[in-house]
Every structure is written in C-alpha cells, then in structure tokens.
A and B are shown apart, each in its own frame.
Chain A
C-alpha cells in the first residue's frame, strides 16, 4: 500500500480522533465520577448540535454556536442528573437499572428532537474554505479548527484534573465516593460539577461532530455512541487520559483501515483492536485497577 495513501489517512484519523477524544473524555469522566453509564450521551450531543444549528441559522458565528452547544450540554446534563438520575439512585436503583433509565432518556430525547425538528437533515450554516496540505496530509480549515478545539479541551481537562482542588476532589470521588464524603469532600457538589463539565464536553463534541459530517439528523449522535463507548473502554473506563489515547488509536486505525482494506470494515478493524487490547489488559490501557463500585449520589 502506497505511503501517499496511508499518510493522508493518518491525517484524517487525527480529525476523527479529535472528535472522539472530546466526546470520549466527557463520557468517561461522567462515568468515572458518577458511575452512571449514560447511554443518552449521544442524544445530548445531537440536542447540542441542534442548538448550534439554531444559532448559525440566526446568522450568528459558528464559534458562538460552539459555546452555545457546550453551555446547553452542561446545563442539560446537570438538570438530567438532578431531575431524573439522582432520584432513581436515591431509591436504590443499581448500575444495570440505571443503564435502562439512561436508555429511556435516550429515547425521550431522540423522539423529542424528532417531534420538534422533524425527520429531516440539517447542516450548520458556516463557510467551508479550501483545504490545506500539511506534511502530506490534507485538512480543511474546519478540520484544523476541530483539532485545535480538541487539543485545547484536553489541555484544560488535564489542568483541571492535575492542578485544581476540584480535579483532586473529582478523582477522590471517582475512586471511592463514601470515603471522599467522609474526608469532608462535598461530593454532591463535585458530582454536579462533574456533570456540568462532562456535559459541556458532550455538547462541544456534538457541535464539532456535525461541523465535520455536514448533514445531521436526530439520530446522528446516537450513531456515534458506540465508538465513544469503545474509546472509553479501550482507555480504561473512568480514565480521561486513557480515553484520549483510545481516541487516537480508534480514530487513526479506522481511517487507515478504510484506506487499506474495505471501508465497510473500518469499524470492525477498530473493534478487533479493542478486543485484542482488552484480552491483554481487561481494565483498559491506562486503568490501574478495574473498579467495582456502585452508583455515586
């Protein structure tokens, strides 16, 4: 296979990885702190994309649409947790039960979007300038913007987790919520903030996803959920740095596979790698310990 096919594919993989990284880190952060496997995540991404669509349709900048999408994802996620998930957790709903609740929320959000916007395809109104060639790879300016957004988001998450009290509190809550509470950490507030931050990443991911795919519908985010879960599992569920690494592996592998093999199997190749990695390291690439804990509330 010619190098001039693989090198561009790696470039394309970096774009896909950028979207997956933002989405995957949000997803895994959410699960890591709250232990709720939120399968409505993809639908919240879609809802944020529709908010961005409304913003750009009103003639406002796509940058403002990104902020609006992230803000929506953040607020919606906090409200979702407080109004729906937390009452279930407080009534003793366990991990599997919560998964069913999140599926119900997913269906409600998806059908709500269908009722509001209809079964149509939508596009963000934004300019799409000519491509740029960098080291044998081809990017559009939109894709370069997506990569930059992902890098900045990952840096901010790194700074938050490593160098702030909130980050330490989140890590402590993720490791053992009861112990964290007994140590004086306001875990309720930490969990709220975890939903807010992960929700913002979710909203941001939804907007950059539809910036990239051009046309989207009420199921676009849900279709993207499986690779997001794969990224989180590959990196070690609950491990933001693992999700970043997982996003790179899955993003680049799937694009290179599409260039070399049959594009029909681009997902299959990525998931074969996922299975192989998990056979060797069941806890994921970066997770030190496979945690066994219940839902935090």
Chain B
C-alpha cells in the first residue's frame, strides 16, 4: 500500500513535467489544431505591437488552412499578452507552454520581454520568430531562436547612412531611456562619426514627462542640423510640439517605432500635417509592397477583416509581413521534416529558406507545399523579401526611409544591405 501511494505521488509529480515537454518537443495528436502563439504586448505602453502581429499571423493561417493545412492539421493563432513586462511575460510563457499542447512555435517576444523569455522558450524547444531588436541576440546560440527583422544596432547604421546621404553633419540623438531605444544609440553614434558627422547632443530622455522645454533649449544650444529619435508617441508629441512652438522644427529621422500608427497619429496632431510631411522621415526594414509574395499576403490580409480590424493598415507594415513569413516558414519546415514536432522540424527552418542551386523558389505556402510534395527542395522568399539566416539565426536586409504625407506613408529612398555591411566592417 505504502509503495502504491509513493508510486502515485511520483507519477503525479512527474505529470506537469511530461505535459511541458510534450508541448515543445512532442508531436501533436492526429487532427489537433496546431497553435502559433502571438507572444507580444497587447496591453500596456507597447500595446501597438500585438495588433501588428495579428495582421501577419491571421492571413498566413487563413492561406495555410485553405491550402489543406499541415500534415492533416489545421493551424490557429493564439494571443498571449506579455503586457510588455518581463514580470508578466515569464508566467505567460510558462502558462502557454504548459497549456497549449499543440504549440508549434511563437511570434515574438519583443524587446520588452525577450531577455527574460527567450531562454525559457529555447529550453522548452519552442521555435520563436522574435521581433526583439536587441543586439544581445546578434550572436545567440539558442537553437530555437530565429530573427528575420534587423537587430537594433543595424538600425543605427541605417539611420546614420540616411542622414549622411542627406548631407547632415551635426545631429542630436533623442532616445528614450528604455532598453529598446538605447540599444540603437551606440551603433548610430559610431556610424555617424565614422561617416564624418558629429553627434552634438546625446542624452537619454525620461519618457512621458509633462514638459521637455528645458531639453529643447539644451539641444538647440548645440546647433544640430537633424534630430535622430526613438521615443514613445506621447513623449514625441510633447517634445516636437514644444520644439515647434518655441523655436521651429528641425528635420527628424526616426526609427520604425515612429512609423507605427499611434506615433504618427499623436505627432501628426501635435505638430500638424504640413510640418510632419516637411520635417519627418522614418527608417524601417525594407519591405517592398509589390511582388507575388506581397500580393498573396495582402490579398489574404484584406480578406481577413473579420479577425483583423482595419486590415489595410498592415498592408505595408514590414513587421506584419515578417510575422506572415514566419508562420509560412514554420508550416513549410514541418512539411519538409514531415513532422509537427518542433524538436524535429526546427532545423528545417534553415532548409526551407536558404538559397541554393537547384532549389525551387516559392513565394507562398501553397506553392511550397506543392513543390515539397513533388520531392523538390525549396527556398521560401517572403512578403518581406528573401530570408538568409546566418549561423546565429539572424537575417538582415535593407532599410527604407518613409515620409508621412496626407495620412499615408510614402517611400522616399532606401539604404541597401551592402551599404550597411560596408559600414559594419
């Protein structure tokens, strides 16, 4: 009797461990729906991130399910709100891995929670297509980590190159004191200096203050020609409107944060549409709104209105495109590996994306599925362009500069991957 009780206790104790390991490493039961976790902030200061992710995941799932699913399974996107805070994100990750028994991968985490949750997801054998830009992951050896958006330090190079091309030689760096924004600064300063420019002001900003007038005065005393910036919408609106009221605006080059709808709306209202069009440009990963992959993405996106509010707002969003690509890559990797087990198909993420002679280039899940069924090797080229992972599972492309004119983003130029590579040497 005593032995039976002990055995039962041991079995009960091991039950959660078994459940956890099956979520990451085991195969899904027949006909179960495979889950992709949207692991990002949906509430809190970075609540804008989550909907951007939904704008990529839902169209991908729509096309995969319409194309017969993956190895007899349908797929679905499930929101996991990290609230942009590691304290909330860690339990959210643990809950997701424990309860989603058919979890095949996640989109995210973002910079807000990546350092705390990437190790957890990696240990749980959950492939993650992160949107964090933190340079800490530039040389990661985490096998389940995949990044198809440029790292923040690359963004700094792109901003410096764009300002240099415009002829600016004196710049002020106005970045928030949060980790995400500050990770842009070292490469921006180094690259701009290397290109012959001078950063005349570089002090982190406390966010969401009631006033930045003293900072405006300090910046103007250094006589910059251009302002580099990444701060949240409220801070940007207050700072730029005070700059405008007190002295008049200067040219502003922002990061992709400044090309998100909440930022554009807040600042556009604060400084006026005419000033916005005249003085502001934002840099974001280059994602051409053309080509067969983008057309497939956009068509599916626009048809997803019941699950994606105002879907057209994500048509030219490079992050939504990369989330869409990430889901397609995971689905194609499962087909290539003939397994829905992340531990098995994870290595095939590389297989289905890397270029190679004799490979069939595909631009959609349906085309990739057909090619794999025909016994061909494939290279998936996504809505965001070709994806070439390096040994640390990072893939970096070009950047584009955009203006905000009449309520729409207009492409005004680009910085190539080759230019960035030359600067990083």
Binding site for B on A (CB under 8 A): 2, 5, 8-9, 12-13, 15-16, 19, 114, 119-123, 128, 130-131, 138, 140, 209, 212-217, 219-220, 223-224, 255-256, 258-259, 262-267
Contact = CB atoms under 8 A, between A and B. Distances in A.
A213 B221 contact: no
B245 A213 contact: no
Contacts of B205: 263-264
A5 B217 contact: yes
Contact of A263 (B43, B214, B245): B214
Contacts of B245: 128, 130-131, 140
Interface stretch (B52-60, B259-267, B289-297): B259-267
A215 B211 CA distance: 11
B210 A255 contact: no
Contacts of A114: 43
Interface range, B side: 35 or more
Contact of B215 (A13, A214, A263): A263
In this complex, the member of B203, B238, B242, B245 whose beta carbon has the largest number of chain A beta carbons within 10 angstroms is B245
Contacts, number: 113
Contacts of B234: 121, 213, 215-217, 220
Contact of B204 (A128, A209, A262): A262
B204 A121 contact: no
A208 B145 CA distance: 47
- Please provide the 3 A-B residue pairs with the shortest distance between their CB atoms, ordered closest to farther: A215-B237, A121-B266, A12-B213
A263 B47 CA distance: 26
Contact of B270 (A123, A223, A259, A265): A123
Contacts of A209: 210
B262 A262 contact: no
A23 B310 CA distance: 38
Interface string B189-215: 000000000000001111011111111
Contacts of B211: 12, 15-16, 212-213, 255
Chain B residues touching A, majority SS: helix
Contacts of A258: 212, 214-215, 218
Interface string B6-22: 00000000000000000
A216 B238 CA distance: 9
Contact of A16 (B177, B210, B221, B236): B210
A167 to B, nearest CB: 29
B48 interface: yes
A138 B243 CA distance: 12
A140 B238 CA distance: 13
Contacts of B204: 262-264
B370 interface: no
B218 A5 contact: yes
Contacts of B203: 262-264
Contacts of A12: 211, 213-214, 217
A215 B270 contact: yes
Nearest to B245: A140
A256 B214 contact: yes
Nearest to B272: A128
A134 B208 CA distance: 27
B237 A123 contact: yes
Contacts of A213: 210-211, 234, 237-238
A213 B211 CA distance: 6
Nearest to B176: A264
In this complex, the member of A12, A19, A122 whose beta carbon has the largest number of chain B beta carbons within 10 angstroms is A12
30 contacts: A9-B213, A12-B213, A16-B211, A19-B210, A114-B43, A119-B48, A119-B262, A121-B237, A121-B266, A131-B246, A138-B246, A214-B237, A214-B238, A214-B241, A215-B233, A215-B238, A215-B269, A217-B234, A223-B208, A224-B210, A256-B214, A259-B215, A259-B217, A262-B204, A263-B206, A263-B214, A264-B203, A264-B205, A264-B206, A266-B206
Nearest to A263: B215
B244 to A, nearest CB: 8
B213 A15 contact: yes
Contacts of B43: 114, 119
B265 A121 contact: yes
B233 A259 contact: no
A219 B215 CA distance: 23
Given A138-B246, A215-B270, A255-B211, A267 B206 contact: yes
A223 B236 CA distance: 16
A119 B42 CA distance: 10
B356 to A, nearest CB: 44
A128 B214 CA distance: 19
Nearest to B267: A215
Contacts of A259: 214-215, 217-218
Contacts of B270: 123, 214-215
In this complex, the member of B214, B233, B245, B270 whose beta carbon has the largest number of chain A beta carbons within 10 angstroms is B214
Given A217-B234, A263-B203, A266-B206, A255 B241 contact: no
In this complex, the member of A16, A131, A213, A259 whose beta carbon has the largest number of chain B beta carbons within 10 angstroms is A213
B239 to A, nearest CB: 9
